[in-house]
Amino acid sequence: MTPFQIILVAVLSLVALATVALAMRGSIGRLAGVGWLAVTGAGIVFAIRPNWTTDIAHLLGISRGTDLLLYLLVLAVLQGFLLIYLKLRRVRRELTLLVRELAIREAERRGDGGAGDTERR
């Protein structure tokens, strides 16, 4: 193995171990754990046997293995953006609900015994 292959395998193995640890602690979902394990596992295999990416690429009608990896990377990045965006939307929504509740409570606290309660039925 070349030095770079050794580094790659070492790093990917650490990621795989971290994934297992996180999944066992329940920090990430089971599905996400399996998915990450599959990705890192495939990474390790391809690091050791780079030619296999070319073989798979040919099966899919892509001429080079590096192209296959590039396409997969693009898809993964897009997926990542989407997930982050959805998460951000949810957080923004929760923030709005929180800010709203605080605003109403603060106003009601200030208004207790004060003006405005005449309209309450």
The residues binding another protein (CB under 8 A) are 86, 89, 92-93, 95-96, 99-100, 102-104, 106-108, 110-111, 114-117, 119-121
Give the residue ranges of DSSP H helices in the chain.
3-25, 30-48, 51-59, 65-111
Question: CB-wise, 34 or 98, nearer to another protein?
Answer: 98
Q: How far is CA 89 from CA 84, 92, 102, 114, in A?
A: 9, 5, 20, 37
* Closer residue to another protein in complex, CB, 25/119: 119
Shortest CB 76 distance to another protein, Å: 20
For residue 94, how far is the Cα from the chain centroid?
19
Whichever of 34 and 91 has its CB closer to another protein, that residue is 91
| CB of 111 vs another protein, minimal distance in Å | 6
Alpha-carbon radius of gyration of the chain: 25
58 or 92: CB nearest another protein: 92
The whole-angstrom separation of Cα 96 and Cα 99 is 5
Beta carbon of residue 97, minimum distance to another protein (angstroms, whole number): 9
Query: What type of residue is 62?
Result: I
